[in-house]
Copies of this chain bind each other. A is one copy, B any other.
Amino acid sequence: MVKRYLKLATLEEALLIIREAFPPMRFSETVAVEDSVGRISAGAVFASYSVPEVFLSAMDGIAVSSRDTRGASEQNPVALSDALRVNTGNVVPRGYDAVIMIEDVWEEEGCWIIRKPVAPWQHIRPAGEDIAETEMIIPSFHRIRPHDTGALATYGVTRIPVLTLRVGIIPTGSELVAPGTRPAPGQVVESNTLMASAWLSSLGARCTRYPITPDDPDEIRRVITLAAEEQDMVVVSAGSSAGTKDYTVDVIASLGEVLLHGVSIKPGKPVIVGNIGGKPVMGMPGYPLSAVTVLREIATPLLAHYGLTPPDPVVLTARLTQTLHSDVGTDEFVLLSVGKIRGEWVASPQSRGSGVQMSGVRSNAYLRIPNRTEGFESGEMVRVNLMVPPSVAEAALLVTGSHDPALDHLADMIRPGGVVVHSTHAGSMGGVLALKRNDCHAAPMHLLSPAGEYNVPFIQRYLPGEDIALVTIADREQGIVSRDGLSLEDLPGHSFVNRQKGSGTRILLDYELQKRGIDPAAIQGYDREVTTHTAVALAVRSGEVDAGMCVYSAAKAYGLPFVPVASERYELAIREEELDDPRIATLLDAVRSDRFRTVLTGLGGYDTRLTGTLHRVPR
């Protein structure tokens, strides 16, 4: 029996259904003032005493009776015998009604000499100047800032009611193992409830993660029943799509009411929202990026409905680097790397596979393709939501092109200097074309011309008349990775995994095959493509294929035999005008550092004699 989503609500409809189903109740807990930063007050807080409660000196000086100072002048100094030395904050006793600053008095023989009169109440803080008993310190729904905590403590408040929502989060799935456990094949680390807890807690919810519940409808029913009793809201992780073992929706239906099963969003379509005893029970899809989308687009508005408002969105307009098609009727959310190139915001879409959790880590923004549109064209200006502070997006350095493990290390080296590298593995030709379209700051490349020259002929051909510099990362060794020490000549008859068309490694392979007269058609898997050196080495190590071509460092990282094929020049292509950009300058400093040479030596297979040299490509 194949279950389907018959009636999909749009996102707007879904949010309306949710708002109408659940009254906007207020749930609160009491926390110590010192732990209240970022929380939202659940009620007004009033001062239980005045501050100050009595009259205080506002200065270091002497307390006087203003009447005693009458007539004082430069010509006729007055000596005060019953003035009282006070420091700032000292009580001014009855009988004194003014304070004179210590700088304006002279002490002589036990008396204080003054040379001008003072007005009553000068430099005196009246009782209640700061706050009077019964006055309101903060109203309801005030988000506590660090400095508010000091004021609350000053006015006698040590604990404060703040908004919260008790959320029970239930991981379901027989394939799940706890975080910290290395998953066996077919097992998955149960990270979604950890992430959901982190997400909802950051909004002020009080989250409880229940133990992993296997795919057993009775067990799932038992835990959901328990959580719906103990909590204000329940999130059931996974078990919400239409696979054979997805019981969540039936359990919710039997315990209460299913309000929504499936919402026309992507990723995140299989979400469930139900109502058990007046409490929202949400089924969150298992794919991590689907789960994130559901948390952001559905759970977050639901928490806001209960007063737990999220941070303000930070929105900007950016030029899209790729055409994005999307189904009409579906709100699709696409993760992006956003950066500023030559003064213009540019948005480069990440992989849209909802199983690639790293896309979320690599992204600094997302965009929504509204359900009324078929998508956006490359070059179109689109509104994007930042997932990092604006200053971090401003610091993004978009690096698009050929992949090398050393790039990760460079990214790590320059992050403390404030530069955030966003790498897109597009292959060398992809990088050259991205640089041409101003879609990236730097394009790592290693493209061999038929004449045997690296990179320069390709820049001259694809960016004619433009001023481009090439910065050498290293001369690096490419070769055949295998479990059995295979060489290029051994490839026919063995299974193989290739790099994508346009990658420098693919071009190098074809060049070397042709030179040796080997027919690519004789290589089983020649058409199968992955996009990184590590993916090639991994396919070999896992036994999926017998061989592939990659850099030495990838083979070494996995402890695999490596038979060299050729040394090649791996360089960064950068527009000359960008060399002064602080982000580029920081990158080049790192490339030229001793530390980077040490990194390359450690990775292995890099000749660093030319590392960091820069040459301008003749137009």
Residues of A within 8 A of B (CB): 2, 4, 26, 33-34, 37-38, 43-44, 49-51, 53-56, 58, 60, 85, 87-91, 102-103, 120-121, 125-143, 145-154, 156, 158, 175, 179-180, 182-183, 185-186, 188-192, 194-195, 197-199, 201-202, 241-245, 286-288, 291-292, 295, 307, 311-312, 353, 355-358, 360-361, 387-392, 405, 408-409, 411-412, 415-416, 421, 528, 530, 532, 534-535, 537-539, 542, 544, 557-558
Contact = CB atoms under 8 A, between A and B. Distances in A.
Contacts of A244: 60, 85, 87
Contact of A534 (B128, B158, B408): B128
Among A37, A85, A358, A392, max chain B CB count under 10 A is at: A358
A97 to B, nearest CB: 10
B148 A34 contact: no
Contacts of A535: 126, 128, 132
Given A34-B197, A358-B131, A288 B150 contact: yes
B136 A411 contact: yes
Contact of A135 (B180, B295, B416, B534): B534
A464 B356 CA distance: 66
A357 B151 contact: yes
Contact of A154 (B307, B357, B530): B357
B534 A53 contact: no
A198 B37 contact: yes
Contact of A53 (B85, B141, B185, B558): B185
A140 B391 CA distance: 17
A557 B134 contact: yes
A391 B38 contact: no
B353 A415 contact: no
A130 B411 contact: no
Given A202-B38, A360-B147, A360-B148, A242 B60 contact: yes
Contact of A126 (B55, B183, B191, B539): B539
A33 to B, nearest CB: 7
Chain A contact residues, majority secondary structure: loop
B139 A392 contact: no
Contacts of A90: 186
Contacts of A127: 538-539, 542, 544
A102 B312 CA distance: 42
Contacts of A88: 241, 243, 286-287
Given A126-B535, A127-B538, A128-B534, 5 more contacts: A49-B182, A53-B185, A91-B186, A156-B182, A307-B416
Contacts of A534: 128, 132-135
B557 A153 contact: no
Among A140, A183, A243, max chain B CB count under 10 A is at: A243
A168 to B, nearest CB: 16
Given A53-B542, A412-B136, A60 B243 contact: yes
6 contacts: A54-B185, A127-B542, A132-B532, A136-B411, A150-B357, A151-B191
Contact of A34 (B135, B194, B389, B539): B194
Contacts of A142: 415
Nearest to A156: B182
Given A126-B530, A188-B89, A412-B139, A147 B544 contact: no
